[in-house]
Amino acid sequence: MSYEVKLEAFEGPLDLLLHLIHRLEIDIYDIPMKEITAQYMEHIRAMQVLELNEASEYLVMAATLLEIKSKTLLPIHEGELEDAEFDEEFIDPREELVARLIEYRKYKDAALKLKDREEERVQYFTRPPTDLSGYMQDEQMQLFDTNVNVFDMVAAFQKMLRRKRLKAPLSTRVTKQGMTMKHQMKQVISILQHHEGRVDFFDLFEADDKPTLVMTFLSILELMKRQIVMVEQQGNFDDLTVVLKEEDVDDEQFESIDE
């Protein structure tokens, strides 16, 4: 039986590219294709290992990046270079990608502004005080409530795979093989409790087989979603730290988890 997961935090390949450009402090108008392609492919490999449903659209962008990279690597002879400098029709192979990224960023910024306007507009209406204690669990919808986002988590997962030198084919299906999400979540909590509630992200991955590694990673995401743990990162590119937010965790918090 296969286990598949869909993370809504992934908004598409352009969103991933913008994240990498911001993280690597790259000029969007002068993208180094070798570096950005290498970083993008690292995330793609991790997504394929995790069997993410959206992986296909990311592969299309990967092919586009490789095509642009190959064009930038083609040699230009001295005479052709002089002609290109004065040729108004000379087109940088990165130009279309840059235009798409700028357009995407424009709409993404506009969407954020509209969301802010919506939240601001809601404040204009009043209503009698309401007891909202029954809705406290809605906070779990904020999966990443720190400076760590889904791309950082995937990057940490990929880094962990490199550390373990896991060379399994990317097409291998992720199977449960006697383990359950509930069991693995309890294992993560047990390790955190044994280490006073704070553990390095990589220390949670003790196994060497891919199914267990993937299940552990998904268990951490589920615990974050349920606001049982949080993930911290002190500085850019620093290792992640998993922190237990609740000292007392009972079985009732795992009743909705499938065996």
* Other Cβ atoms closer than 10 A to 127: 5
**pLDDT for 46-69, tens place per residue?**
877 776 655 677 778 888 888 888
Going from the N-terminus, what domains does the chain have, and what CATH number goes with each? 1-126 (no CATH), 144-248 (1.10.10.580)
Which of these ranges, 138-147, 150-159, 196-205, 226-235, has the smallest mean pLDDT? 138-147
Looking at residue 200, what is its pLDDT?
92
Instruction: Give the gyration radius of the chain's Cα atoms.
Output: 22
- Residue 60 sits at the vertex; the CA angle it makes with 55 and 64, to the nearest 5 degrees, is 140
Which of these ranges, 5-9, 16-20, 75-79, 126-130, has the smallest mean pLDDT? 5-9
**pLDDT for 146-157, tens place per residue?**
567 778 888 888
Looking at residue 256, what is its pLDDT?
64
Structure tokens at 154: 């995937």
How far apart are alpha carbons 67 and 94 in whole angstroms? 10
Looking at residue 125, what is its pLDDT?
62
**pLDDT for 207-255, tens place per residue?**
878 888 889 999 999 888 888 888 988 877 778 999 988 777 766 666 6
Global pTM value? 0.56
Q: How confident is the model at residue 7 (pLDDT cuts 50, 70, 90)?
A: very low
Looking at residue 257, what is its pLDDT?
65
